[in-house]
Amino acid sequence: MLKEHKRTLIITSVVTILPVLIGVFFWNRLPDVMATHFGANNEADGFSSKVLAVFGLPLILLALEWIGAVVMSHDPKKQNISPKMFAFALWIIPAVSLFAAATIYPYNLGYQMDITFFAELLVGVIFIVVGNYLPKARQNYTIGIKIPWTLANEENWNRTHRLAGYLWMIGGILMVIAALTGIVKAQWMLAIFFVLVLIPFVYSYWLHVKQGL
């Protein structure tokens, strides 16, 4: 599968490490100790050296992307991972890398940003996109809701992913609306996230216990 997606993997790898070039360009303007993590109030609560922030984080993300690609390509049921799903999975890490750069660099250069807004918006969009793909996902060990009951029974997998797909798309839309309007606090957004993850888990277990699936 890696050979089939060689071009996509190369492009996504370049995008993932693109923040390194941006960091080098602004190197002299960046502080020696950079804020790299932020709380719900947009205040920095985690710091790293400039070297780690500029070089380390993108390279760590690049390693994670390649590990994920290798794992997917060696999945015992890799034939069930569609090319579109494989390509989509490859683009998740680059999106995270660009988002990190778009928040970390401006903040450390002295620009005021509503980082929570962009984080909520990104999570909402990811839920919408993933929710659209989930009902089409076939049983595998890498992509999807991989819990004992979905992996043990194909019908359980299909029903759980169908429900999760609808829920995640609706939840993602609500997250985007909440981010754009600011009517929901970050703590509530986190609660929505956990509910969207918990319901499919509980539903899958119910199918296993009550329906024998």
Answer yes or no: are the C-beta atoms of 161 and 144 closer than 8 Å: yes
pLDDT per position as a tens digit, 166-194? 999 999 998 888 888 877 666 677 788 88
Residue 47: φ, ψ to 5° = -135, 150
| The token pair that represents 50 in the structure block | 């400039």
SS3 of residue 44 by DSSP: strand
Output 182 or 101, whichever has higher pLDDT: 101
pLDDT per position as a tens digit, 115-135? 888 888 888 898 999 999 999
| Alpha helix ranges (H) inside the chain | 6-25, 50-51, 57-73, 83-108, 115-133, 148-152, 154-181, 186-210
- Cβ-based burial of 49 (10 A; exposed 0-12, middle 13-18, buried ≥19): middle
In the prediction, which pLDDT does 22 show? 95
Stretch 60-80: mean pLDDT: 92
Stretch 50-67: mean pLDDT: 95
